[in-house]
Structure 1
């Protein structure tokens, strides 16, 4: 479990983008972005891959397993990285838990 300033994230959590937050394309820069109220975060390839799998029904464990298969990477390491990334976004109020 990752905890950042009181935001605990576990493999069983179901991440969801909160109301007012969405992924989009910045056509000027040719990048994917995460858009929120008064905030824009540029996504790298990995961040985009994670957020494309955030659908409000899959757990972090399921997302991590899919990423590990897609990128031929160790599931445990991918899961740790996904948890850390989503905990950081949760701290910024750009991701919430659908299950709590």
Structure 2
């Protein structure tokens, strides 16, 4: 069952910043070790799962928005990270190094 849960695994490290000609810079953040994380169609657990990130994944956060409150390895948060078009993950499972917003609010 792939829910927003934790299983033992090794840490995948910290955030990485990648710079390309197309984008000024995009920062990738690791998801919690040992987690297969549900990616949802909106900022909450009531939204459908559109895919599941494998263990050891890193995600780019394009914007953040409030949604369903979730408890995870990095605390309890109502912040949801937009990682692509129509793709959201709970910030409680993403190691951003902050309990608050690290990206702009989604429009």
Give the TM interval when normalised to the shorter protein: under 0.3
TM, length-normalised to structure 2: 0.25
Which structure has greater strand proportion?
A: 2
Larger RCO, structures 1/2 (Cα 8 Å, 6+ apart): 1
Which structure has greater helix proportion?
A: 1
